[in-house]
Amino acid sequence: MTAVSDAATSSALRTREATVRRFAFTDMAFRTATRLSAILVLVLLGGVAISLVTGSWEALSKFGFSFLTTESWNPVTENFGALAPIYGTIVTSAIAILIAVPIGIGIAVFLTELCPRPLRRPIGIAVELLAGIPSIIYGIWGLFVFAPFLQTTIQPFVIWLFKGIPGLNSLFAGPPYGIGLLTSSMILAIMVLPFITSITKDVFDTVPAVLKESAYGIGCTTWEVTRRVTIPYTRVGIMGGVMLGLGRALGETMAVTFVIGNAHRISASLFAPGTTISATIANEFTEADGDLYTSSLVSLGLILFIITFIILALARYMLLRIDSRTGA
């Protein structure tokens, strides 16, 4: 009798032990799989950096530092310099940010302070849908709808308006092509607008209600509350959002490729065609013959990677700061 029950308990114990061991093993296997996947994310970024450096080695060792300061880009004589694309990238992104920031903050203020509650979500979603539209759609729209519109209406008017004003007349010099640096900047502005808006709206929501209410309590207007309380309180977060938008604008490829004109030169006029790093790569990579040409294009990619990495890292750092403050 006892022997039988002993045997039963010991066999039950054995199966339980086996089950526990199996559980522990599966758990370890699952844990390792998740950990490896997390590490893979790091490996991916490392791999991107390494492949760009090795790919650009030939061009960088040939041209050295002068790659960054040479304007000429000549596939025939195999003389390549990155100055024109770098200039185009920075100018278009900077103007895009200048246009998008006030509009983005304006929309965020509208959504948090003015908008009737039932409309808030639909309008917020509509603006965020702008972020979902693929960049090639902005490109085709920019080339066939927006650029001709600018060419026939806005650009001739602006050229005429600033004709007599020194400085401005070279900045807005004709002929009006429609495509060019300014057109690209405006398309980029539309594309980064949703990023800036949604982050600004999110950080506006972190402002403690009691701060705003006390400002309203001493008789401030909505604008004064926004200007003196909300914006100062969320300054770091807004900067983070702007940097994030800037990172997007710097690397944006297809939309710009359609409307920039792809000309390797630096002109004073914003109406002139130019090029950006990403547009150059997109336009020329498959046609590049010769290792040096390909390598020069990869070098452009490396430069873009370094610039966007720094900008995006700064953006994340700033957004982390505001996160930790609301967490505390």
Partner 1 sequence: MSTAASLHQNRKRKNAVMMTLCVVAAGIGLAWLALILGALLYKGLSGVNLAVFTEMTPPPGDAGGLLNAIYGSIVMTIIGIVVGTPIGVLAGTYMAEYGRFSKLTTVVRFINDILLSAPSIIIGLFVYELMVRPMGHFSAIAGAVALSILVIPVVVRTTEDMLNLVPNALREAGAAIGAPRWVVIRSVAYRAALSGIVTGILLAIARISGETAPLLFTALNNQFWSSNLNAPMASLPVTIFQFALSPYEEWQQLAWTGALIITLTVLGLSIIARSLTGRREDR
Q: Which of residues 24-83 bind partner 1 (CB under 8 A)?
A: 24, 26-27, 30-31, 33-42, 44-45, 47-48, 51-52, 54-55
Query: Near partner 1 by CB under 8 A, which window of 5-13, 68-76, 128-136, 158-166?
Result: 128-136
Between 155 and 198, CB nearer to partner 1 = 198
Q: Applying CB under 8 A, which of residues 115, 171, 236, 266 lies at the interface with partner 1?
A: 115
Beta-bridge partner residues of 74 = 79
Q: Tell which positions 268-297 bind partner 1, by CB under 8 A.
A: 278, 281-282, 285-286
Q: Applying CB under 8 A, which of residues 67, 138, 172, 204 lies at the interface with partner 1?
A: 138
Inter-axis angle of helices 277-284 and 291-327, nearest 10: 140
Q: Tell which positions 246-265 bind partner 1, by CB under 8 A.
A: 247-248, 250-254, 257-258
Query: Near partner 1 by CB under 8 A, which window of 65-73, 157-165, 206-214, 303-311?
Result: 303-311
Answer for the pair 150, 183: CB distance below 8 angstroms, yes or no: yes
* Minimum distance of partner 1 from residue 250's CB (angstroms): 7
Question: Alpha helices, DSSP H only, in the chain?
Answer: 2-63, 83-109, 117-132, 135-141, 147-149, 155-161, 168-171, 181-204, 209-217, 222-225, 231-233, 235-251, 254-259, 277-284, 291-327
C-alpha distances out from residue 146 to 56, 130, 152, 219, Å:
36, 16, 10, 45
Between 58 and 173, CB nearer to partner 1 = 58
* Minimum distance of partner 1 from residue 91's CB (angstroms): 17
* Minimum distance of partner 1 from residue 104's CB (angstroms): 8
Q: Applying CB under 8 A, which of residues 130, 171, 173, 266 lies at the interface with partner 1?
A: 130
Q: Tell which positions 195-234 bind partner 1, by CB under 8 A.
A: 197, 221-224, 226-227
CA distance 286 to 213: 59
* Minimum distance of partner 1 from residue 109's CB (angstroms): 5
Q: How many CA atoms lie within 13 A of 54 on its CB side?
A: 5
Q: Closest Cα to residue 188, out of 285, 66, 274?
A: 274
Q: Applying CB under 8 A, which of residues 6, 8, 15, 106 lies at the interface with partner 1?
A: 106
Contacts for 58 with CB less than 8 Å, ≥ 6 apart = 291, 292, 295
